[in-house]
Amino acid sequence: MPELPEVETFKRFLDSTSLHRRITGVGVRDAYVLRGISARELARRLNGRRFENSIRHGKHLFVRAGDDPSSPRLRRASLWLRLHFGMTGSLEYLRHDEVPPKTARVIFRFADNCRLAFDDQRKFGEIELIESVDEFLRTRHLGPDALEISLAQFRATLGKRRGAVKAILLNQQLIAGIGNLYADEILFRARSHPAGESTSVSDKDLTRLFRAMRHVLGKAITLKTDYDRLPKSWLLTHRGKAGRCPRCGRALKSATIGGRTSWFCAYCQKRA
Ligand SMILES: [Zn+2]
C-alpha cells in the first residue's frame, strides 16, 4: 500500500515527466476512481491546462493545473488534481505508442502525445478536482505531514494521546503519511513495542522514535522505495511467517494492533 515514501516517489516521477505541457485529453476508463466529478466534467475542466507543480501531504498528492498562458480566453483560476493511491495505485508515463497497462484507470494526454496513466489494480484509488489544498486538509482534519512535523509537536501529540504507540503513528489526523509497513519499521528501529502505551513513553524514547521516523521515511525515499535495495537490517525485508529479527535472530512475532497486523521482535522491542 503506498505510504508517504511511495507517494513522494510518485510526486518526483510526475514532476520529472509531466509538468508544463498542455493537456489535450483525459480518458477515464473506470469511473469508480472519480470523487464528486464525472468523467466528462474532469476532461472539460482540465483540457487546455498544464500541470504546473505538485504538493504532497501525507499520502495525498495534489497537482496544480494552471491555465494555458497562450490561451486567448479569460484566465481561469488554478485547480488542483488530488490523487490518492489507495492500496495499489501508481503512475506510469507512456511515450507515443506505448500501450497503457490493463489496469490504467485514468489517462491524461499531453500535446506531444505522451500520456500519464493512473494505474490501480485493486481499485481503491481516488481522483478529484479541488480548489484549495488548505481547505481539503482542514475538512479532512489531516495532521501535519510526518516529514514536516517538529520534534516538539511530535512529543506533544504522542505524549498526550492515550493508546498504542502504533495506533497513534497510523492515525492520519494526528500525523499524516505513515501506514502499516513503515510504522512497524519505525518502531523496530526505535526499539519500541508497537502496543506500548503512548503516554508512558519517556521523552528520551519519543525523541528516538521521532529520529527513527525521519530516518526510515527519508531512506525509503532516497532508495525510491525499491524493496530490493532496502537495507537487510530493516524489518521490512524479514517480516512475515518464519521471519527472524535481523538484529538478534529470534523469531518475529505478530499481533493485531490498531486493527492492523504488526510484526515486531518481542526481545528487541520492549514495552514502555
Ligand atoms: Zn530482535
Per-residue pLDDT tens over the stretch 166-191: 999 999 999 999 999 999 999 999 99
**Among this protein's residues, is 148 annotated catalytic?**
no
pLDDT at 223: 97
pLDDT at 74: 60
Each residue's pLDDT tens digit, 197-211: 999 999 999 999 999
The mean pLDDT value for 214-221 works out to 98
Catalytic residue, from 3, 8, 126, 185: name it: 3
pTM recorded for the entire structure? 0.95
Note whether 251 and 262 are within 8 A (CB).
Answer: no
In single-letter form, the type of residue at position 56 comes to R
**Among this protein's residues, is 100 annotated catalytic?**
no
Ligand 1 geometric centre to CA of 240 (Å): 14
CA 152 and chain centroid, separation: 23
Catalytic residue, from 11, 50, 56, 59: name it: 59
Ligand 1 geometric centre to CA of 16 (Å): 40
Rounded to an integer, what distance in angstroms lies between the CA atom of residue 63 and that of residue 54? 4
- How does DSSP assign 58-102, residue by residue? TTEEEEEEEPPTT--SPPPPPEEEEEE-TTTEEEEEE-TTPPPPT
**Among this protein's residues, is 50 annotated catalytic?**
no
Ligand 1 geometric centre to CA of 272 (Å): 16
**Among this protein's residues, is 3 annotated catalytic?**
yes
Ligand 1 ion: residues within 5 Å (CB): 245, 247-248, 265, 267-268
Residue 69 has pLDDT above 70, yes or no: no
Rounded to an integer, what distance in angstroms lies between the CA atom of residue 28 and that of residue 118? 10
Ligand 1 geometric centre to CA of 92 (Å): 38
| Cell matching residue 125 | 484509488
Residue 71 has pLDDT above 80, yes or no: no
Catalytic residue, from 76, 208, 260, 271: name it: 260
Each residue's pLDDT tens digit, 237-259: 999 889 999 999 999 999 999 88
The pLDDT-based confidence of 73 (bands split at 50, 70, 90) is low
Each residue's pLDDT tens digit, 50-60: 999 999 999 99
pLDDT at 203: 94
pLDDT at 258: 83
